[in-house]
């Protein structure tokens, strides 16, 4: 599945200067990891934002937000944002920042 490279580039610019950011091909799209944890990404022309389970239901009520359900079953804590909700810089930044806040709040994985 192809993904919106222009949207991925917009996200990459928003994440410039953040420490320990990596870009990785996942889910047939591209994901951005912060400190080794998925923060956000692009599948097709949709943004995937990792928002956590605590805020999931409330954020699904936002315009253009949909459950992430690429397997046919929603993945709680992850939201698709349709392209109509990402047309301007501020709307994209708001969703990426939500992903960053959640990802930065997740404790680091314990090393084995």
pLDDT at 38: 92
Q: What percent of the chain lies above the pLDDT cut of 90?
A: 76
pLDDT for residue 1: 60
pLDDT at residue 19 tops 90: no
| pLDDT bucket at 63, cuts 50 / 70 / 90 | very high
The pLDDT of residue 17 is 86
**pLDDT (tens digit, 9 = 90+) per residue, 21-61?**
999 988 789 999 998 899 999 999 999 999 999 999 999 99
Q: Give the count of beta carbons closer than 10 Å to the beta carbon of residue 38.
A: 19
CA 79 – CA 66 distance, rounded (Å):
6
Residues 6+ apart with CB under 8 A from 56: 76, 77, 79
Q: Model pTM?
A: 0.90
């Amino acid at each position: 599945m192809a993904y919106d490279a222009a949207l991925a580039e917009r996200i990459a610019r928003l994440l410039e200067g953040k420490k320990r950011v990596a870009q990785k091909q996942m889910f047939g799209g591209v994901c951005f990891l912060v400190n080794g944890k998925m923060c956000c990404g692009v599948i097709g022309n949709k943004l995937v934002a990792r928002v956590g389970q605590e805020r999931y239901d409330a954020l699904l009520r936002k315009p253009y937000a949909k459950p992430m359900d690429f397997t046919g079953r929603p993945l709680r804590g992850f939201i698709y944002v349709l392209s109509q909700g990402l047309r301007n810089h501020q709307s994209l930044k708001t969703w990426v920042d939500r992903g960053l806040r959640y990802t930065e709040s997740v404790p680091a994985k314990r090393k084995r």
